Every structure is written in C-alpha cells, then in structure tokens.
Amino acid sequence: MSSPWSCILFDLDGTIADSAPGITASLGYMFEKLGRPVPSQEDLLRWVGPPILDSFRDLAGMDPVESVQALAIYRRHYLDNGANGSPVFSGVPHVLRSIHEAGVPLSLATSKPEFPASVILDHANLTQYFRVLSGSSIDEIRSAKKDVIAEALNRFRMIGADLSRPVMVGDRKHDVEGAAAHGIPTIFVTWGYGSPEEQEGAAHVVDSPEQLMPLLLG
C-alpha cells in the first residue's frame, strides 16, 4: 500500500478524540469559578479546537489578565478530570496504525498543549504511531494552528522526513487555514465539531474513517 503523501499531520480534538465533553465541562467549571454565567452547551462547543486564549478574548470578551486567570482554572480542572476521559472515534485507530505500518511519517498537530494531548494519545495506546507530536506551548505563545503546523514541519525536518507532499487532517476551519498558510492541503472530517461552512478551502471532505483511508494511503 503506497501513499500519495510523504508525511501526514493530524488534528486531535474532533478528529482523533471526542474530547468535547471534558473540555466543555472544564469550561463550565471555569465560568462558575469566575462568577460568570455559564454559556449553553452549543456555545461551549465553539471553543473546541481553536486556541483557547483566542476564545477567551473573542468569545468571552476577557482581557489578558482575566485570560491568564481563566486559563489556570481551566487547565487545572481539565488535567484532573478531562484528559483521560476523551474517547477515540471508532475507526480512527485503524487509520493511524495503517499509516504507521505503511511507513509514512505521522505527526500530531493540535492547539491543545502537548502534555494533555499526549495523555489522550497514551490513554488510547496511540502514541506509538506518531513520529512527531506538536501542540501549543505551555505559555500559549505557540497556539495558532499555522504555528503548531510550522513546529510539526520543523520536527519532521529534524528527523529527516520527506516534506515534499504533506497533508493535514482536521475538523475545523483553523486546520484548513493553518495548513493553507504553509501551502498544505487539508482533508476535512465531518465527524468532529466543525460546521459545514468551515469546510471551505478543504481539498477533500470525508464523513467516516473508512472514506479517509483511501485518500491517505491510496
């Protein structure tokens, strides 16, 4: 089995793991601790995927000081309660294993910090399939998807991976736009948290891991 791609980058939240319940629960806890009204579940789903500091600013109207306080509350609750409870979407482990077995370098590219991201992968026994793990930095300076992808490409380069034909797999517009900033096409998966409008600009749209497999491995 040969792949049309020389390396593959995967988003985490909404693409590999159904992490929304843990994220939204921790967000609800954070809003309560700050004495703010808790948004509806539908509104909280908008937070799943984008860099969290952007959401503090854009969705909650927080200033930088409030954002730092909110981030500390959210992270503590999420690490204690959310990361281990993120089930993996059915069929995705088979895709990741097949990519690994085909010898195509695979990287995580997530706006989630690398430690909780690695906890989710470890819990699902998926870390073994990845050559590179790239997430946001602990200070959130590197959190925009284009910056996370840049770091993944740099780490690929450090291990001598072929960067001539990369592809991104994700479920939000941030994946599409972040990859496009590097001239990388995106395969958009619909089982995640993105709206149909967010598919714009994607090279392909798939509704199941079974549809994803031939696009990645031919």
Q: What tens digit of pLDDT does each residue of 105-136 get?
A: 999 999 988 988 999 999 999 999 999 999 98
**pLDDT digits over 7-51, tens only?**
999 999 999 999 889 899 999 999 999 999 999 999 999 888 788
Q: Given the DSSP bridges, would you call strands 204-206 and 106-113 parallel, antiparallel or unpaired?
A: unpaired
The answer to whether residues 110 and 137 touch, using CB atoms and an 8 Å cutoff, is no
- Identify the structural domains of the chain with CATH numbers, from first to last: 7-18+86-217 (3.40.50.1000), 20-81 (1.10.150.240)
Q: Give one DSSP letter per residue of 108-149, joined into a string.
A: EEEEEEHHHHHHHHHHTT-GGG-SEEEEE-TTSSS-SHHHHH
pTM of the predicted model, to two decimals? 0.90
**Cα-Cα-Cα-Cα dihedral of 152, 189, 193, 139, to 10°?**
0
Q: How many residues does the chain have?
A: 218
- Mean pLDDT comparison of 2-6, 115-119, 195-199, highest-scoring range: 195-199
